[in-house]
Structures are given as C-alpha cells and as structure tokens.
Chains A and B, each alone.
Chain A
C-alpha cells in the first residue's frame, strides 16, 4: 500500500474513447459474469428458468443490497461499518418489543427504522465527532448492539407479528415483483442519483481520495462522514424491517455474519476498499451475481457453509486477480 504513493502517475496524451472505457470497465466484466452465471444455472438446474423461482432468488440479495448501497458510499469515503448485521438484530429486537406491547404495524416499522438511524448516529458520533477509527468503533458496536439483543431476548424469540406486517417481506407489488424487489430498485435509483449526480456524492469521492484536501476545499468532512453513518444505519433499519417481516420472528442471532456478505458485495461491485472509487451500478450487478450464485448453489443442494467458502474466495479473488494481472503486465 505504501508503495503506491511513490510510483509516478502516467498521464496519457490522448484519453481512450468513452466506449472503450465502458467496455473495459469493471461493470462490463460484471455483466459478463452475471450472464455466464445465469446461463450456467439454467443448464445446471431445470428449475432455474421459472419466473416465480427467479423472483424467490431475488430475496437472497435485496436486503443485503439495500445496506450495500450505503456501505459502498461509506467505503468510498474511506470508512467502514462492520456493525450493520448487529444493527439489524437490535432494530428487530426493538420491533419485537413494540409488537409485544400491542402496537400496530406502523409503529413497528417506525421503531425498526428509528433504531437503525439511532445506531448509525452512535457510530457516526464516535467516528466523525470523536475522531475514532471506524473499524474498531464498529467492531465494538457490533458486539454492543447484538449484545443488547441477547440481554433482551436470551435464548427466547419474538413471534406473532401482525398479518399486515408480513407485507414488507412477503408481499408482491405486481405479479412476480415483490415489495422488496421494487424497494431495492427504487433505492438503487436513489443512491445512483445521490452518489453520481449530486454535490454530496462528489464530496464523498473527494473525502475518500484525500480527506485533508477535501477539508481545505471547503467540504465539511466530518458532517459528510456523520451523514454516511446515519444513512448506513437507516438502510440497516429498513433491511431489518424487511428481514423481520420475511422471517416473521426475531432471534438475537438474526442476520449473523451479514456484514461480511455486504462488504463482499461492495468490493465485488468494484468499490476500492481503501476508498476513493466505486459505482452504484457496480454494486447492483454484484448483488445480482451473488444472488444468482447463492440461488444456483441452493438448487444444487450445496450446504450454506460451502457457499460461504465460495464467498470468502470470491472476496479475496476479486481483489487479488486484477492486482496480479496488473503486476504481470508491468
């Protein structure tokens, strides 16, 4: 990592055409991979090419992808949040408490989202206000948030959510298009605009590339950082509503290990783990690929833990391969 600053940056006389750049981009590679996985799956299993089965497959990634959008912005800005899965656990537990107290669906949903935002605010306070390293803070809050869930629930579970609450995780807007899938698409569009079409989005890149320079060019660096943690908390809260509604119950072990899958999704989507670059379309494609692969493995009866080996290899592989290729070219 330290060597990078020493290599001189080569500035070409002429830029490559936008089309060549688009074809050579990480996103183009992801499209090819997505198509290949799709074809491989449809050959491997006769049950794959079915509108309802494919619709089911989207549940493998929608909740994670919602968090991944916010996480992508956070990682582009040079921070990370490892507590997202624990935020889901805490938000879900809070929803369970509100539900047990006899409140209806609107209150339950508001609680889930509200707790998510509060958790994000706490992370943001530690990182942006106190200037603590985000990786340790969120390892700490990761234990803290899930720990509170365990204190409340122990080995018990909340069940018996109202029927109207089931819509968020099990309902369909139209034909095979589930509420989660539509929400995923809307959020993807929203985050695309936020990151690629607003001043706020540009400042995120600026901070990721050089926080000091960003500060001197008038960006309120810590405020942007705080908002990004808030946003990640918000998305975790929304994901908690969807996941709790889909499962219909809350256990303190809910969404265990999801932070790993979210980070993998973001990195697979071409976001530089050291910050400074990455795109939302890349993350969307990565989400689809991971969903298709998980679903395909599921159809082939591959156990979950073997899928997680594959996930780990994928995480390391997608970063290692481009670096090794670049080294061989040199």
Chain B
C-alpha cells in the first residue's frame, strides 16, 4: 500500500483527480462525461507524441523534431489530398514519411554518432523549412480539403471520436511493445546501462535509431490527424509543441537520463497538461498563462524525479538486503 502511494503514476492520477475536483467545485459542467471525453480527444495528439518521445528518451536520446515532423507530414497529407490521392493511401504515406524523417534522425545518431539534441535541433529547423519550400509559405484551408479527409478524425464510433480511438490503440500498442516484447525491453536496457546492453548482445545505436523511427512514425500519423481535425495546414502548425511533449514525459516520470519510465506515466503526464490547458479558459485565466504553467510543471517534475530516483535506489538495496 505504501509503495502504491509512492508510485509516480498513482500520485499523478491523484493530482489530476484533485485538479478536476477543484475545477468542479466552481464549474461542475467541466467534469460532465461529455466534456471529459472532449478533453481526452483534445489531448490525443499529445498522448501519441509523448509515447513516441518516451521511447526515445528511454534510450538516452531526445527528439526535439517531433513537432516539425508532425507539421511536415500534415502538410504533405493535405497536399496529397489536394492532388486527389485517396485517404486510404494518404494515411500510410504520412506514417511512412514520418518514419523516414525519424530514420534520418536515427541514422545521424547511430551511424554518425552526433549527439541527439544537436541532430534534432538541426532537423527541427530543416523540416520546418522544407514545409515552407513545398508550400511556398501558403496555407491550405478547410475549403481546399475533401470532406472525407477532414471527417475521419471526427467520426464518432461508440461515443468516442476516431482520434481518441487511435490514441487508445497507440497506448495499448505501446504497452504491449514496451512490456511484452524483446524489442521493448531492449529500449529499457539500452538506457539503463548501455555497456551492459552491449554485453548482452544489444546494438545500442540501432535501438536508438529504431526509437527515432517509431517516434517519427507516430508524429507522421499525428500530423494527418492534426491537420484534418483543425482543417488547416501551414508552416507553423504545432509550433513549440515539442516542448509540451517533453514536458508530458518529464511530468510522467520518464527519466531524462534514460532507462526509466512507463506508458501509464507518459499518458497521465499528457493528460495533466491537457486538463490544465482545457481548464484555463473555463476558469477564466488567459490562455497566455499556459506557457509559463507548463514551464513550471517541467521544472517541478524534474526536481521531483531527481528526488524520487534517489529514494528508489535505496529502497531496492534495502529489500535486497532483507531477503539475503
């Protein structure tokens, strides 16, 4: 029981519930089921990207190019739609393009041995620049998109939008991948102790490259969803969103030094930010506060992570001693 209370996921879930309770005392409509599904739907892109980012961070890397990848894939999807390509081809195209952009990051980290932060800072501006080059800086607006393209994420199935269902599917997929497959466990091994991972026959660089490909593919998928849902594509789509994604991971207890984190944590971290973002206008606080709030949340969370990480180490040793 004590350990359960100390776990990051439970604390975070309690924090979100407390937040909802505080909001509900003044604005009960906020916690109506209909509104909560809206909040979840609104947070879906952040959840999907945070899961991709978590895999990258698990391997001791960081992907700052996710938002740019999202925007580029979204723009390409919108342009393909304009060229009359059927939706059944656009979706895989966005996914593959995202994976390819992720592979560029991954190969530069794996084969050329450039620090991930430098690689993704660079590709972040390059990908955004490419959007400008292919679109000539023009916007693609709602009336230039076909109805089918725009409707898919908003179609309701069993009370939830397709966007939410996709997020749930990604959560399920990430859980199975990270907890039930050899590939998933290798991500933890690579980040936990790269030298030990090499001795157990895991190629560290390759795992990092695979992580970037996964993160890129998820960003590509989200790119289509984002552009279709908001029905607009332009150079600065999701500008600065990479910070929210990293914030969601850090708040969710994903260790920035790699090797530690959970799917539930990342999802709850994203939901925490999502609830705040959706609550601000309801409570009557200017949306301009959001940037500062997520910044403070990152700092508080990372300070908390560092403290908890230290305590956890001691507990493991103690229990091992007791058993011996």
Contact = CB atoms under 8 A, between A and B. Distances in A.
A237 to B, nearest CB: 19
B15 interface: no
Contacts of A144: 291-292, 295-296, 299
B256 to A, nearest CB: 5
Given A131-B306, A143-B294, A305 B128 contact: yes
Across the A-B interface, the 10 shortest Cβ-Cβ residue pairs: A147-B292, A143-B295, A144-B295, A309-B129, A147-B291, A140-B298, A312-B125, A312-B126, A140-B299, A316-B122
Nearest to B306: A132
Q: Chain B's interface: helix, strand, loop or mixed, by majority?
A: helix
B198 A2 contact: yes
Contact of B122 (A139, A142, A148, A312): A312
Given A137-B299, A312-B122, A323-B114, A306 B243 contact: no
Contacts of B130: 309
With most chain B CB atoms within 10 A of its CB, the pick from A139, A151, A274 is A139
B132 interface: yes
B129 A316 contact: no
Contacts, number: 139
A126 B125 contact: no
B217 interface: no
Nearest to A2: B194
Contacts of B298: 136, 139-140, 143
A2 B196 CA distance: 11
Contact of B117 (A131, A135, A303): A135
Contacts of B250: 136, 140
Given A143-B298, A147-B293, A306-B132, A313 B126 contact: yes
Given A305-B235, A309-B130, 13 more contacts: A130-B303, A131-B306, A136-B250, A139-B243, A140-B247, A140-B297, A144-B299, A145-B295, A150-B289, A274-B115, A306-B132, A315-B121, A323-B113
Interface in B292-324: 292-299, 302-303, 306
A263 B115 CA distance: 13
A19 interface: no
Nearest to B114: A319
B291 A150 contact: yes
Nearest to B291: A147
Interface in B139-158: none
B295 A142 contact: yes
11 contacts: A2-B194, A132-B302, A132-B306, A140-B250, A141-B295, A146-B291, A154-B286, A305-B132, A312-B124, A319-B112, A323-B112
B195 interface: yes
A273 interface: yes
B108 A2 contact: no
Nearest to A133: B256
Interface in A281-325: 303, 305-306, 308-309, 311-313, 315-316, 319-320, 323-324
Contact of A130 (B114, B204, B286, B306): B306
Contacts of B35: none
A140 B296 contact: yes
B204 A2 contact: yes
A144 B204 CA distance: 34
A31 B288 CA distance: 45
Interface residues of A, number: 46
B119 A1 contact: no
A140 B302 contact: yes
A145 B195 CA distance: 38
Contacts of B256: 133, 135-136
Nearest to B68: A312
A80 B64 CA distance: 15
B119 to A, nearest CB: 6
Given A151-B292, A263-B121, A274-B115, A309 B108 contact: no
A315 B132 contact: no
Interface string B261-296: 000000000000000000000000010111111111
Given A143-B243, A144-B296, A144-B299, A306 B129 contact: yes
A1 B114 CA distance: 8
A315 to B, nearest CB: 4
A136 B255 CA distance: 10
A6 B57 CA distance: 24
Interface in A258-288: 260, 263-264, 267, 273-274
B19 interface: no
A132 to B, nearest CB: 5
A147 B292 CA distance: 4
